[in-house]
Amino acid sequence: MKGKFLILFALAVVSAGLLAGCASEEEEQIKAAFVYVSPIGDAGWTYSHDLGRQYIEKVYGVKTAYAENVAEGGDDERVIRQFAEQGYDVIFTTSFGFMDATITVAKDFPDTIFEHCSGYKTAENVGTYFGRMYQARYLSGIVAGAMTKTNKIGYVAAVPIPEVIRGINAFALGVKKVNPDAKIYVVWTGTWYDPAKEKDAAISLIDEGCDVIAQHQDSPAAQQAAEERGVYSIGYHSDMSKFAPNAHLTAAIWNWSVIYSYIIEQVIQRTWKSEQIWWGIDKGVVGLAQFNDAVPEDVRKMVEEEKQKYLNGEVPEQYPFVGPIYDQQGKLVKAEGKVMTDEELLSMSFFVDNVVGEIPASSE
Amino acid sequence: MRDIITPIASIAASLVVVGILLAAIGINPLEAYAVMFTSSFTSKFGLAELCVKTTPLIFTGLAVAIPLKAGLWNIGAEGQLYMGAFAASVVALYSNLPGYAMLPAMFLIAAIFGMGWAAIPAVLRAKFDLNEILSTLLLNYVAIYWVEYMVYGPMRGKEVYNFPYTDLFPDIATLPRFFGTRFHLGFFIAIIIAIAIYYLVNKTDFGFSLRVVGANPRAADYAGISRQKVIIYSMLLGGMFAGIAGMIEVSGIQLRLRPLISTGYGYAGIPVALLASGDPLLVIVSATLFGFLYVGGSVLQTTYSVPVAIVYVFQSLIVLFIIAGQSLRRRG
Amino acid sequence: MVDPNFIASLLASSIRAGTPLLYATLGEIITERSGVLNLGLEGIMITGAFTGFAISLATGNPWLGVLCGGIAGMLLALVHAFFSITLKANQSITGLMLVLLGLGITGFLGRNYIGEVAYYLDLIKIPVLSDLPYLGEVLFSHDPLAYLAVILAALLWFILFKTRYGLEIIAAGEKPEAADSMGVDVDRVRYISTLFGGFLVGIGGAYLSLAYAKLWTEGMTAGRGWISLALVIFSGWMPQRAIFGAYLFGGLDVLSFKLQAIGVGISYHFMKMLPYVVTILVLLVSVIRKRAAFGAPTALGTPYVRGKKE
């Protein structure tokens, strides 16, 4: 009885599938697919990438598709493979955790181009791309260091992954440059999706005397807290002054469309080859939002000078991660004049000396 | 025969409602359904992925179905899955066992940890009559955050650029895959266990006492069956299967431990078990249906760029319709 | 750390963080007291959050937003009530499906509301009292919904334990057969309790997006619905205890932030676990000591069928 049902069920399903068999149309248009780790509605990471997707759709006439909230490890391989099978010319996987799946599927689809964001493994048809957000963080740190009066700067951070840690350190180095006495206090919220908690974390910092609040989260909640309490803040992802007109000094912003345009142009002209793109402020992938009126002229000038150093190649791309750099225990992590390598940056997991806070210990 | 008409009618009804929603956002429902079917059933990878999703659902379906036979609700399959995955990962990464012993050891330890995690609510229910829905639900969170703590801290890998993952498992700790797809041994293990449980429930003394306690606790007392023992054993069994689901997922698909290894498989076990009316063999069928919902939902996403939120709406509507159908039929 | 400023700001923040939990917990207490288990709080809360935000943005009136948030929550609870009471289906599963449904509907509709600023509820500083040192900050400088929550809790305590209507609710949850024979319409009581519960949970959600975080992101309830379920247990199904529980649970998060802010490291994984572990312990203590007052309503989760014997 149950067996009959099973067979009937299977037959019904298969015949429905066969009956429905679709014929797809060939188009000359370039097709690009995006695999997102969180919903576009996260207002942050995926939202910024999606702005880039919309840009290439509009400007280059690329036909795009996306899948959101794709679970790393469990669902990513299936989704990437589905896009590949549907004939997309290039597939962008926008999270570090998609790395294994991207490489695996790429092996089976040698004619499809795969671009993995924030990863380090490449193949003949797999490239990586990322932005040197830490450069913008560094510059924003200069602003924060100059504007603080209590010498206590708060940083609301989501989870202790290298990217966040790197941002904090770059920011701290910027602060140090103009204000060696200031300290950066880090509070981990442990989440990307909880604006109310982010606000609480910001308020906790403000209550303890911090008068500039920076953040590495997805939402502008920390900015709101700063505005309510009458202190300053540094935004992230995009210009957040709408949420904090008085508090918002500037923001470290992404502009993924620069990289997406570059890649799509290569795909259109059929000149694409696998690269490890890690571009910075000189190419416009990251930047600073407009300054608040409150930021004085001399601070703006200093930021501009430092920014010029990137633009005219006076400093290496890894700047400010050039020695001497000390960790929280006072140990010299990078000797004077030595530059941190990209790999060291990608796996950074210590705090520099003017940061107050802890990173959960990793195994020895 | 009547047992089949209701679920099919409900599925049909839900497809109609969901079809209306699809049309409302500008998608041709017939075309969408066609795409969902073809992707799952007419390609090697589609079928493989369907089995990949179905496998943990069979286990968690059993994890809920067995206690259900005794009248208990195991809402804690998710947490038991995480504990099983955690234990299996520890063995995979640190035990240095030889090849022939590794997978069986992982299997065993996952079963034990899953069982242990279910033992707490089991004993609380048996000895103190504590509502197991509440206790199992709470323990889910403890288990999930425990794994998170482990992965961010002591178990963080060395070759993961300091991200919160463990290292990849050694090859001997991963389940063999077939046909060049992600279809892995776990599927067969799931089927075999489901069949074995069918016999356990329907052909053994234990299975008999299980069903009696669930159907009529007073009669069980008269028959000399120890209610407490049955409650505890059924929950332990349930926890065991959920723990095994965890091991299967990390050694078959994830190949490492990370903070999010389950997309709600433990919770999905509840509708899977209910739709199968608790019957272990029907669990295979309802698990397949749910696997299809997962995979089909993701096909909708990749084909039409439907926001993932719509997929949640579909899944919940389909289950609600089926439940409504079952309830109406019961009353009718 | 025994600095009074630290304590004062901790308490004030705990109250703010605990208020959405308090609304949801109070709502679910009423629902569960009548015998209905609604696991769908997370979905109902996010529906209230989104509806409140959208209405406030469209009308410019945050209070209207709050009200609509409550109504939206009530509508979702109506689905649950229908399935649980009329169809007598399993309550756990419909509750879980409501979570999915709520997250799904709001995620989809909310896509266009990212990056918007809504009209929100302002703080009300009670004159004179709010200038008191420390106490002023802790007790008298909150937004109106926070004050309302406490009043509501007191009101519900009174209604539940001191009025006939409240006793009907409790009876429906403890011994529906007895209540029925006394002339109580068990199903009607359960319907009303579930709808009312959903209304409050929706308000808790609206509080999140209109008074607390003042913005909308997908999934922003971030597990508060589940914590509220734990809180119902923790407070022993008693509204007055819910006040303490909600502020405690809300405060745990804030405490971890404040400790970090002064340089004391604390593992936030364990802080996240803490509310659930504590609740389990509370449950344990209550059953071991067989305190009936602390126990779950006996008929919780069981549909009432007239004439059916256990």
**Any idea what DSSP says for residue A358?**
-
Domain boundary among A279, A313, A342: A279
Say if residue A21's pLDDT is above 60. no
Q: How confident is the model at residue A11 (pLDDT cuts 50, 70, 90)?
A: low
Q: Is C45 a domain residue? A: yes
According to DSSP, the residues that pair with A326 across neighbouring strands are: A332
Say if residue A248's pLDDT is above 90. yes
Say if residue B196's pLDDT is above 60. yes
Q: Is A23 a domain residue? A: no
Q: For chain A, what's the residue count? A: 364
Q: Is A18 a domain residue? A: no
Q: Which residue of B has its CA nearest to A1?
A: B1
Question: What pLDDT is recorded for position C309?
Answer: 42
Alpha helices in A30-108, H assignment, sequence order: 45-60, 76-85, 99-108
pLDDT in tens, C56-103: 999 989 999 999 999 999 999 999 999 999 998 888 889 989 999 999
Question: What pLDDT is recorded for position A361?
Answer: 58
Question: What pLDDT is recorded for position B131?
Answer: 79
Total number of domains constituting chain A: 2
Domain match, A116 and A153 both: no
Question: What pLDDT is recorded for position A153?
Answer: 96
Q: Which of A340, A338, A357 is nearest to A348 (CA)?
A: A340
Q: For chain C, what's the residue count? A: 310
Query: Higher model confidence: residue B14 or residue C51?
Result: C51
Say if residue B163's pLDDT is above 90. no
Q: How confident is the model at residue C142 (pLDDT cuts 50, 70, 90)?
A: confident
Token pair of B112, please? 């034990």
In chain C, residues with a C-beta closer than 8 Å to the C-beta of A198 are: 213
Which amino acid type is present at position C196? F
pLDDT in tens, C231-278: 998 888 999 999 999 999 999 889 989 988 888 877 778 888 888 888
Which amino acid type is present at position B115? M
Asked whether the beta carbons of C92 and C301 are under 8 A apart, the reply is yes
Which amino acid type is present at position C115? G
Domain match, A102 and A54 both: yes
Say if residue A1's pLDDT is above 60. no
Say if residue C162's pLDDT is above 70. yes
Looking up tokens 């539940």, which residue turns up? C160
Q: Average pLDDT over chain C, rounded to whole?
A: 88
Q: Which of A181, C98, A8, A78 is nearest to B301 (CA)?
A: A78
Residue ranges making up the domain that contains C120? 4-294
Domain match, A210 and A274 both: no
**Any idea what DSSP says for residue A288?**
E
Query: Residues 18..37 of A with a Cβ closer than 8 Å to C: which?
Result: none
First to last CA, chain A: 58
Say if residue A17's pLDDT is above 60. no
**Average pLDDT, stretch A197-206?**
94
From the number of C-beta atoms within 10 Å of its C-beta (0-12, 13-18, 19+), residue C167 rates as middle
Any C CB within 8 A of B304 CB: no
Domain match, A333 and A312 both: yes
Question: What pLDDT is recorded for position A3?
Answer: 55
**Average pLDDT, stretch B151-165?**
87
Q: Which of A68, A60, A71 is nearest to A29 (CA)?
A: A60
**Average pLDDT, stretch C20-24?**
97
Question: What pLDDT is recorded for position A24?
Answer: 41
- DSSP codes, chain C: ---HHHHHHHHHHHHHHHHHHHHHHHHHHHHHHTT---TTHHHHHHHHHHHHHHHHHHHS-HHHHHHHHHHHHHHHHHHHHIIIIIS---HHHHHHHHHHHHHHHHHHHGGGGTT-----PPPEE-TTGGGSTTHHHHHSEE-HHHHHHHHHHHHHHHHHHHSHHHHHHHHHHH-HHHHHHTT--HHHHHHHHHHHHHHHHHHHHHHIIIIIS-S--TTTTTTHHHHHHHHHHHTTT-HHHHHHHHHHHHHHHHHHHHHHHTT----HHHHHHHHHHHHHHHHHHHHHTT-GGGSPPTTTT----TT---
- DSSP codes, B204-250: SHHHHHHHHHHH-HHHHHHTT--HHHHHHHHHHHHHHHHHHHHHHHI
Domain match, A92 and A175 both: no
Question: What pLDDT is recorded for position B263?
Answer: 84
Q: Which of B133, B122, B79, B105 is nearest to B246 (CA)?
A: B79
Q: How confident is the model at residue A5 (pLDDT cuts 50, 70, 90)?
A: low
pLDDT in tens, B296-323: 888 888 888 887 787 788 778 888 888 8
Residue ranges making up the domain that contains A103? 29-131+256-279
Q: Which residue of A has its CA nearest to B149?
A: A360
ipTM attached to this prediction: 0.89
Say if residue C123's pLDDT is above 90. no
First to last CA, chain B: 16
Domain match, A198 and A110 both: no
Q: Is C50 a domain residue? A: yes
Say if residue A255's pLDDT is above 90. yes
Total number of domains constituting chain C: 1
CA distance B117 to B122: 9
Q: Is C302 a domain residue? A: no
Domain match, A352 and A208 both: yes
Question: What pLDDT is recorded for position A9?
Answer: 55
In chain B, residues with a C-beta closer than 8 Å to the C-beta of A358 are: none
First to last CA, chain C: 56
Chains that touch C (3 or more CB pairs under 8 A): A, B
CB-based contact B309 C108, cutoff 8 Å: yes
Give the one of B153, B164, B298 whose C-beta lies nearest to A78's C-beta. B298
Q: Average pLDDT over chain B, rounded to whole?
A: 89
Cα maximum dimension of chain C:
63
Q: Average pLDDT over chain A, rounded to whole?
A: 89
Q: Which of C260, C272, C255, C275 is nearest to C7 (CA)?
A: C255
Say if residue B52's pLDDT is above 60. yes
Say if residue A22's pLDDT is above 60. no
Q: Is C162 a domain residue? A: yes
CA distance A350 to A348: 6
In chain C, residues with a C-beta closer than 8 Å to the C-beta of B145 are: 269-270, 272-273
CB-based contact A96 B295, cutoff 8 Å: no
pLDDT in tens, B58-77: 999 999 999 998 889 899 99
CB-based contact C17 A196, cutoff 8 Å: yes
pLDDT in tens, A139-173: 999 999 999 999 999 999 998 889 999 999 999 99
Say if residue C305's pLDDT is above 80. no
Say if residue B94's pLDDT is above 90. yes
Q: Is C303 a domain residue? A: no
CB-based contact A75 B52, cutoff 8 Å: no
Domain match, A174 and A214 both: yes
Give the 3-state secondary structure of residue B332: coil
Say if residue C287's pLDDT is above 80. no
Domain match, A165 and A50 both: no
Q: Is A363 a domain residue? A: no
**Average pLDDT, stretch B164-180?**
90
Question: Residue A189, CB half-sphere, CA atoms under 13 Å: how many?
Answer: 29
Asked whether the beta carbons of C198 and C74 are under 8 A apart, the reply is yes
Say if residue A7's pLDDT is above 60. no
Query: Higher model confidence: residue B221 or residue C191?
Result: C191
Question: What pLDDT is recorded for position A8?
Answer: 53
Give the one of B128, B309, B327 whose C-beta lies nearest to C104's C-beta. B309
Say if residue A299's pLDDT is above 90. yes
Residue A81: which CATH number?
3.40.50.2300
CA distance C177 to A356: 62
Say if residue C1's pLDDT is above 80. no
CA distance A25 to A22: 10
Q: Which residue of A has its CA nearest to C258?
A: A204
Chain Cα centroid distance, residue B226: 28
Looking up tokens 């671009």, which residue turns up? A115
**Closest CA–CA distance from residue C62 to any residue of chain A (Å):** 17
Any B CB within 8 A of A54 CB: no
Among A90-104, B260-274, C195-209, which is the least confidently predicted range?
B260-274
